[in-house]
Structure 1
Amino acid sequence: MGGHFRAEAQAGAIPAGRLPVVTERVSHPWPTGTATGLGSHPGGDPTEAQRVVLGELPELPYLPELPGRGPGADMIGRTAGLLVELPVELQPSGWRFADRPGRDARRTRDHLARDLDTLEELAAGYEGPFKIQVAGPWTLAAAVELRHGDRTLKDPGAVRDLIDSLAEGTARHVAEVRKRVPGAQVLLQVDEPGLPAALAGTVPTASGFARLPAVEAPVAEDGLRRMLAATDAWPLVHCCAPRVPYALLRRAGAKAIAIDLSLVPRREDDEIGETIDAGIGLLLGAVPATDTALPPLAATAAPIRALWRRLGFPAARLAEQVVVTPACGLAGASPGYARAALGRCREVARMLHESPD
């Protein structure tokens, strides 16, 4: 394993004059021609999952999530376990705020502690960019219920408390990862698949018979900004849903945006072009996330190249600004396919670097 570790992180700074209009200079922490994953893995063995990540993705590894272990290892429960002074418990309807920490909270903490122990053991001596993932405030507010059963998203005051608590808990988590892997430059991926629905007013109430009012864009932007600003980890936002609010995410402080390439319609070209113009990194989900016959390398890379050419950016910029990923998390895949999909992401990224045209 040690042969995969670089002595130092390679920077992917944007060369002057290469983009038509650059509104903000962003230095990317990954080397040119990089691939990574989005977080979740199949199975329940954190040692095996972390070994796969470190072996297949040496340029940008991450802390895998294993929701197959059960409640507390899922995206919502895992992140809710980071909240400070806002304990949660599991109800038949899902996660809900509780009066005091109980066995559900302890199980959540135990899962994460084991994952961090595994990371510390397997990544000893690693130096370079390393990614962790947490659910974003709006996705969390749409999923976790208040004590009386309504979704947190319904109560603006409760949402503000959640954001403050999540910001503090995330900062503590970043600090813990740095303590375990001192040579890591931590990238913080904030998962916000629920943000487009919150902005559109399509999040159902707890009963399912109505919809919650839409969150105003400035309010959503401010909440996300407060969370991202709570830590000096390198911030990126993952939104594997239609109608990604690119401009809002940029204004909130995201330095990269992760999307499912198959969900990108041509009507979003202008927004994506402005995002590239601003130097924002793109994590493009180009490899299927569930078991299938993996398409050839050229076919996998074709949609990435097509998007880049359509927007008129220099081919040489592509592998610097784009990171190749699976379309979404790999929890629904078999272990063998998950390993193969990550390997394919790396092969595609290398090809985009070595053959940009």
Structure 2
Amino acid sequence: MTRATGIGSHPGDDQTAFDTALAVVLDTLGDDARGVPYLPEVPGRGAIATMTGRTLAVVAELGADLQPAGWRLTGGGSGIDHRRARSLLAQDLDTLEERAAGYDGTFKVQLAGPWTLAATVERPRGDRVLADHGARRDLAEALAEGIGEHVADLRRRLPDAAGLVVQIDEPVLPAVLGGRIPTASGYGRHRSVDRPELSGHLATVLDAVAAAGATPWVHSCAAEVPWDLVRGAGAQALLVDVAMLRAADLDQVAEAMEAGVDVALGFVPGLDPDPPLTDSALVERARRFLDALGFDAAEVGEHLVLAPACGLAGATPSWPPRVLKLLATAARALDEA
């Protein structure tokens, strides 16, 4: 049975926008057996609500504060913005607990992965965590520990949920592998990280998701993602932007499907398309893509998910409800064809 979900982010800049996004997600996906509803992210509310701020709110033991250049680890206690990030996440989860009471399907949350976090957060004395071998290991381990606590909290809040998914977002993974992350000065680039370490820290986090009783998914809408490495690190689902896939990527996605790994195909744009997209056009895109890989929708439907290509934070308020309805309708039509 083909399913439908969103990547995570929604437009808006206040708490009302979050409340609206959550209502849309639950109403559209929560009442559909094919839907995988999720905790929306509304990064327009400020740095404490961005992917990085949201994830630092979960990281265990390490303190952080917000500097003009962005988030920085403190080497000590949490700064006021770090505490605000944790408070906002708790507030959003309170709202979820109230509105999703009795929900008995699968539910998803999203967090930045260890490499995206290492590439965007600074060490206490400056420059990215990415620059320090020990610091990036410590950050991955702290994230893994925090995920265990986060999943336990979600299970307490959604006791009837049949399953929990933790989506790990790694948009900068290819840049880390390719040595393309700029240093703080902007004049240089951080050295590339070798594949064993890249895989090892990602596996630390994905293993923590699985150990907590949740299912680890990995999303990246970048080009040249090493999907074989991601899968080898323990991802049980790959969320791909179809437009970014090269020939070699197609082979890796096909191998994953053949092995029974769930694959979420990102066909729908994050911004309002012109002309408007129809569910029949979306179904046709999915069929053509599966045909190119040598699969029939009926044989891979159990492991197939339809999703936007990336987040929806830059869209107009009217686009996310339309997107989710399109995806749910297309998932049903793809199976019935």
Task: Find 2:324's aligned residue among 306, 327, 342.
Answer: 342
The Cα offsets for residues 128-161 of structure 1, whole Å up to 9 and x where unpaired, read as 1100111000000000001121110110100111
Check the 8 A contact 1:308/1:318 in 2, yes or no: no
Q: Per the alignment, do residues 265 and 276 of structure 1 end up closer, same or farther by CA in structure 2, a change over 3 Å counting?
A: same
What's 2:178 paired with?
Answer: 200
CA distance in 1, matches of 2:232, 2:213: 16
Question: Following the alignment from structure 1 to structure 2, what is the Cα–Cα distance between the partners of residues 61 and 52?
Answer: 9
Q: Displacement, 1:266?
A: 2.9
2:110 corresponds in structure 1 to 133
- Report 1:237-248 matches (<5 A): 237-248=218-229
CA distance in 1, matches of 2:135, 2:248: 35
Residue 76 of structure 1, aligned match among 49, 52, 70: 52
Structure 1 distance, partners of 2:79, 2:246, is 45
| Alignment partner, residue 24 of structure 1 | none
d(CA) in 2 for partners of 1:102 and 1:198? 28
Match of 2:293 in 1: 311
CA distance in 2, matches of 1:303, 1:220: 33
Q: Residues of 2 paired with 1:181 and 1:315: CA distance?
A: 32
CA distance, structure 1, for counterparts of residue 278 and residue 57 of structure 2: 40
Aligned twin of 1:13: none
Offset at residue 326 of structure 1 (A): 1.0
In structure 2, the residue matched to 1:253 is 234
Q: Partner residue of 2:310?
A: 328
Q: Secondary structure at the match of 1:63?
A: coil
Does the CA-based 8 Å contact 1:42-1:68 persist in structure 2? yes
* 8 Å contact from structure 1 (residues 38, 325) kept in 2: yes
Question: Helix, strand or coil for the counterpart of 1:302?
Answer: helix
Distance 1:315 1:33, change over 3 A: closer
Alpha-carbon distance in structure 1 between the residues aligned to 2:249 and 2:216: 22
Name the SS of the counterpart of 2:143 in structure 1: helix
2:273 and 2:43 map into 1 onto residues whose CA distance is: 21
Check conservation: 2:55, 2:111, Cα contact below 8 A.
yes
For 1:282 and 1:315, locate their aligned partners in 2 and report how far apart those are by CA, in whole Å. Answer: 12
Whether the aligned pair in 1 keeps the contact of 2:2 and 2:331 (CA below 8 Å) is yes
Residue 40 of structure 1 pairs with residue 9 of structure 2:
yes
Query: What is the aligned partner in structure 2 of residue 52 from structure 1?
Result: 24
Distance 1:270 1:33 in 2: 21
SS of equivalent to 1:169? helix
Of residues 55, 78, 92 in structure 2, which corresponds to 1:115?
A: 92
Are 1:145 and 2:122 matched, yes or no? yes
- Distance in 1 (alpha carbons) for counterparts of 2:296 and 2:265: 17
Gaps of 5+ in 1: 1-31
Give the counterpart letter for 2:11 in structure 1: P
Q: Which of 97, 104, 112 is 2:73 aligned to? A: 97
For 2:93, the aligned partner's letter is L
CA distance in 2, matches of 1:269, 1:303: 15
Does 2:236 align with 1:262? no
- Paired residue for 2:204, among 226, 242, 258? 226
1:81 is displaced (CA, Å) by 1.7
- What SS class does the counterpart of residue 138 from structure 2 fall into? helix
Cross-structure match for 1:28: none
Which amino acid letter does the alignment assign opposite residue 49 of structure 1? A
SS of 2:318's equivalent in the other structure is helix
Q: Which amino acid aligns with 1:33?
A: T
Report the TM-score, using the length of structure 2 for normalisation. 0.93
Q: Could you list the runs of 4 or more consecutive aligned residues of structure 1 that deviate by over 3 angstroms after TM superposition?
A: none
Counterparts of 2:333 and 2:246, CA distance in 1 = 25
Task: Give SS of 2:164's match.
Answer: strand
**Distance in 2 between the 1:109 and 1:300 partners?**
38
TM-score (norm 1): 0.88
Query: Identity rate of aligned residues, in percent?
Result: 48
Residue by residue, what CA displacement relative to the aligned partner does 1:307-348 show, whole Å, maximum 9, x if unpaired? Answer: 211121233124322111111111111221111111111111
| Aligned residue in 2 for 1:6 | none
- Cα distance change on mapping 1:340 and 1:314 into 2, 3 Å: closer
Distance in 2 between residues matched to 1:353 and 1:141, nearest whole Å: 40
Q: How far apart are the structure 1 equivalents of 2:266 and 2:178?
A: 24
Please state how far the C-alpha of 1:70 moved relative to its aligned partner: 0.7
CA-to-partner distance for each residue in 1:238-277, whole Å, 9 max, x for gaps? 0110012111111111010001111122342221211111
| Alpha-carbon distance in 1 for matches of 2:217, 2:244 | 19
Across the aligned residues of Structure 1 and Structure 2, the Cα RMSD in angstroms comes to 1.2
Distance (whole Å) between structure 1 residues aligned to residue 194 and residue 301 of structure 2? 35
